[in-house]
C-alpha cells in the first residue's frame, strides 16, 4: 500500500500544466483519475491535494467505489464525474462535494459541516445521523432517508422511501416529492416538509400548519435549485410529543371493566 505525499501528485493527476494566477490565488488542480488506485490511495491523494491549497479537484472514473472522500476536513470542492458507492463524504467536516451521478447507501453519514450535492439518485440512509451541513439530492432518495438526523439539513427534490426520518433528533428535511410509509416514526425533534403525498406517518408524528416563516425558509432553501415552494402543497411534520413520557396502564382496572 502506497502513502501519498504532496510530491507524489504528479503521478496521480494529468501531466498538463496548471496555470497560476498572478495574484497568487489557488487554482483548480488537474483531475484525479481513480483508475488503478485503491480507495485508500484515492482518499490519501485527496488529502494531499487539499494540503496544497487547491480550490477544487475533479475525480474521474469513481465507478461506484465505496467510502470515497470520507473523514476529510477540507472545504476544497471535490467533483466526482460519475456515480459513487456507499458512505461517500461520511464523517467529514467542511465538506464540499459535487457528485455528478448517483450514490449508494449513507451519503454524508455523520456529516459535521459543509455541503454535499448529489445530481442523481441516492440509495438508502441518505444523511444518516448527520450533525451539521447540508445534503442535497436532486433526484430521489431511498428508504430511511434522514434516519436519526442530528442537526443537518437534507433536501430531496424527488421522492423519499419508507421509514425516512426514523428517530430524527434534530435538523430539517425538505422533500418536494412523495414520502413513503412510516415517515418520522419515533421522531424526537426537528421538522420535515413534504411537497407531495405522505403514505403514512410513524408513531408520534403529526402534521401541523406552516407559518409564514416556514414558507420563507422553503423559498430560500429551494431557490438555489430554481424551485418555487409555492408550486407544492407542502405539509409540515413534527413530533406530537405523546411518547415523551411513559404513561402506565392499570390493566387490573381495565380487566374489571
> Is 204 domain-assigned?
yes
List of long-range contacts for 51-58, beta carbons under 8 Å, 24+ apart: 51/6, 52/6, 52/9, 53/26, 54/26, 54/27, 54/28, 54/29, 55/25, 55/26, 55/27, 55/28, 56/28, 56/29, 57/28, 57/29, 57/31, 57/32, 58/28, 58/31, 58/32
For the segment 61-67, the average pLDDT, to the nearest whole number, is 97
pLDDT band at 25 (very low <50, low <70, confident <90, very high): very low
> Is 232 domain-assigned?
yes
**Three cell numbers written together for 129:** 445521523
Q: In total, how many domains does the chain have? A: 1
Question: For the chain, how many residues are written?
Answer: 257
Does an H or E element contain 220, and which?
helix 212-223
List of long-range contacts for 138-146, beta carbons under 8 Å, 24+ apart: 138/225, 139/102, 140/177, 143/180, 145/173, 146/171, 146/173, 146/192
DSSP class of residue 241 equals -
> Is 58 domain-assigned?
no
> Is 214 domain-assigned?
yes
> Is 159 domain-assigned?
yes
pLDDT per residue over 181-212, tens digit each?
Answer: 999 999 999 999 999 999 999 999 999 999 99
Residues paired with residue 116 on neighbouring β-strands, in sequence order = 97, 135
* Separation between Cα atoms, residue 153 and residue 89, nearest integer Å: 15
* Separation between Cα atoms, residue 109 and residue 144, nearest integer Å: 12
> Is 207 domain-assigned?
yes
Give the structural domain span for 153: 121-245
pTM, two decimals, is 0.86
> Is 26 domain-assigned?
no
pLDDT band at 246 (very low <50, low <70, confident <90, very high): low
Vertex 30, ends 97 and 107: CA angle to 5°? 20
The pLDDT of residue 18 is 36
- The values of phi and psi at residue 144, to 5°, are 60, 30
> Is 199 domain-assigned?
yes
Amino acid at each position: 500500500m502506497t502513502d501519498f505525499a504532496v510530491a507524489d501528485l504528479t503521478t496521480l493527476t494529468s501531466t498538463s500544466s496548471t496555470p497560476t494566477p498572478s495574484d497568487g490565488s489557488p487554482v483548480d488542480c488537474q483531475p484525479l483519475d481513480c483508475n488503478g488506485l485503491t480507495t485508500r490511495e484515492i482518499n490519501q491523494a485527496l488529502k494531499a491535494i487539499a494540503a496544497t491549497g487547491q480550490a477544487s479537484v475533479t475525480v474521474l472514473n469513481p465507478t461506484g467505489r465505496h467510502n470515497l472522500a470520507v473523514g476529510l476536513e477540507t472545504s476544497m470542492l471535490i467533483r466526482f464525474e460519475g456515480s459513487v458507492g456507499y458512505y461517500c463524504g461520511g464523517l467529514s467536516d467542511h465538506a464540499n462535494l459535487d457528485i455528478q451521478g448517483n450514490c449508494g447507501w449513507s451519503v454524508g453519514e455523520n456529516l459535521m459541516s459543509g455541503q454535499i450535492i448529489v445530481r442523481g439518485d441516492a440509495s438508502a440512509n441518505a444523511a444518516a445521523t448527520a450533525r451539521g451541513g447540508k445534503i442535497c439530492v436532486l433526484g430521489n432518495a431511498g428508504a430511511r432517508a434522514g434516519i436519526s438526523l442530528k442537526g443537518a439539513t437534507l433536501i430531496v427534490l424527488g421522492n423519499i422511501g419508507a421509514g425516512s426520518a426514523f428517530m430524527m433528533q434534530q435538523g430539517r428535511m425538505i422533500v418536494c416529492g412523495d414520502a413513503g410509509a412510516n415517515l418520522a416514526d419515533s421522531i424526537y425533534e426537528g421538522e420535515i416538509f413534504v411537497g407531495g403525498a405522505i403514505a403514512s406517518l410513524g408513531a408520534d408524528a403529526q402534521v401541523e400548519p406552516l407559518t409564514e416563516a416556514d414558507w420563507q425558509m422553503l423559498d430560500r432553501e429551494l431557490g438555489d435549485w430554481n424551485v418555487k415552494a409555492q408550486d407544492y402543497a407542502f405539509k409540515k411534520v413534527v413530533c406530537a410529543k405523546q411518547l415523551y413520557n411513559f404513561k402506565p396502564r392499570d390493566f387490573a382496572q381495565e380487566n374489571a371493566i
